[in-house]
Each structure stands twice: as structure tokens, then as C-alpha cells.
Amino acid sequence: MAGKCGGTSEAKKATQEVQKICDEVKSQVEEKAGKKFGLFKAISFTTQVVAGTNYFVKVHVGGDEYIHVRVYQSLPHSGGKLELHSIQTSKAHRDPIAYF
């Protein structure tokens, strides 16, 4: 089980599944950030199990610029839909992913 209910899991290296989640919300992230990202590569992530799952993902967007993306995925019986919750811009590679 990834993390205890309420708390976030340890940060893990991003998987293909997490990259797919990022790809699906990229346009929403760009809209929220007010700019386009040529690179949008998931680096690492943590999860929080709620009634569904919150993904907190560190995304490399080019050069030495990173952003943190929070995406909520509903439970499969609720459609497993992805919803961009919020983003944090101007992050560095060394910045830990924290709950936001």
C-alpha cells in the first residue's frame, strides 16, 4: 500500500504511469503557469491515499527549471479521472516534494 491514509509516501523515481498522468494534465498545467513547456518530464513523485490518490510530481520543464504538480485521481469505480489540483513553479532539482 503506497503510504498511510492521510500522509504522503516516500518520494520515488517517476514511473511510466506517472509520466502518463503528467502528459494528460500538461495543457492544464501550462494554462495555470501561463506558459508552454517544451520539456515535461516526470522525475519523482509521492502519493497520498485519500478517496482516490493525490500525486505530487516533480517535473523537469527544461534547463534547470522544475515545477511541482499536484494531481488527484479518483477511484476506478468513480471513473479514475485525473484532475489538476495545483502547481508550484520555480523549483530546483534539489527541492523536496512537499504536500501542497
Is the entire prediction scored with pTM above 0.85?
A: no
For residue 51, give Cα distances in angstroms to 5, 47, 73, 77: 9, 12, 9, 11
E strands present in 24-97? 41-50, 52-62, 65-73, 82-91
Higher-confidence position of 4 and 45: 45
Which CATH number does 12-91 carry? 3.10.450
Task: Specify whether the CB–CB gap between 91 and 67 falls below 8 A.
Answer: yes
Domain ranges of the chain: 12-91
pLDDT digits (tens, 9 = 90+) for 3-36: 445 678 889 999 999 999 999 999 999 999 999 9
pLDDT at 51: 87
pLDDT at residue 98 in the model? 86
- Span 47-93, pLDDT tens digits: 998 889 999 999 999 999 999 999 999 988 888 899 999 999 999 99
pLDDT of residue 6: 64
